Amino acid sequence: MQKKSETIYSLFPELGLLKDETLRNQVTDVLLECWQQSTWQDLKEVPIGPDYPPKYNFVNHTRSVTKNAIAIAKNLEEIHGVKVNMDYLIAIALLHDASKPLEFEKKGTECVRSRDGTLFPHSILASCMALRLGIPKEIAHSVLFHSPHQHSPPKNLEGLIVIHADLGDVDPIRVISGLKPEVRS
Ligand SMILES: [Fe+2]
């Protein structure tokens, strides 16, 4: 896999749903930079976490969370008349786990926490990179605050939706894989 923008576009087709071209390019650049700075050659080998079966990878998880988030937002709008900033929502969902290639690495056949993953709380690296590349602060904030390690939930609707979209993907996978669900655990 070549570490370039075109590969990111083909791995994450939901990037095409971002209407704002500048934001689309910035989100692509964050995903690409996290990958380039990591030790992973194949982004589809990055696990959701060291305890997850490898077939549930970071790329598919990110895509599933993005689709979940869009579905929740559409329901909220259709049924309750709630307006969601779809570009912000999609950007947060695509970036919420962008740090993972940096947080994990392969050791032999095993996946372990990297030095970066030990030094920094989940998602802080992607959030900092997003800010550095000019992504709006509301998005960078929600990328960081989607993590259960933070003391409070995100301060905007879009970030809150992504938290539930995230759990809606990981918890069924965890239960199917014989792991404890994150919710209420
Ligand atoms: Fe996630």
96 CA distance to ligand 1 middle (Å) = 6
170 CA distance to ligand 1 middle (Å) = 7
Cα distance between residue 120 and residue 160, in whole Å: 22
- Produce one character per residue of 105-121: b if its CB has 16 or more CB atoms within 10 Å, e if not: beeeeebeebebbeebe
The encoded tokens of residue 53 equal: 């079966």
Phi, psi angle pair for 3, to nearest 5°? -80, 75
Lookup result for tokens 């570490």: 3
Cα distance between residue 124 and residue 140, in whole Å: 9
Beta bridge partners, 107, equal 110
182 CA distance to ligand 1 middle (Å) = 11
95 CA distance to ligand 1 middle (Å) = 9
Domain 5-176 has CATH 1.10.3470: no
Q: Residue 76 is inside which H or E element, if any?
A: helix 58-80
177: amino acid identity, one letter: S
83 CA distance to ligand 1 middle (Å) = 24
Domain residue limits, the chain: 5-176
62 CA distance to ligand 1 middle (Å) = 6
142 CA distance to ligand 1 middle (Å) = 12
Residue 185, pLDDT score: 56
61 CA distance to ligand 1 middle (Å) = 7
Cα distance between residue 22 and residue 43, in whole Å: 24
Cα distance between residue 156 and residue 140, in whole Å: 11
pLDDT by 10s per residue, the chain, length 185 = 899 999 999 999 999 999 999 999 999 999 999 999 999 999 999 999 988 998 899 999 999 999 999 999 999 999 999 999 999 999 999 999 999 999 999 998 889 999 999 999 999 999 999 999 999 999 999 999 998 778 889 999 999 999 999 999 999 999 999 999 988 65
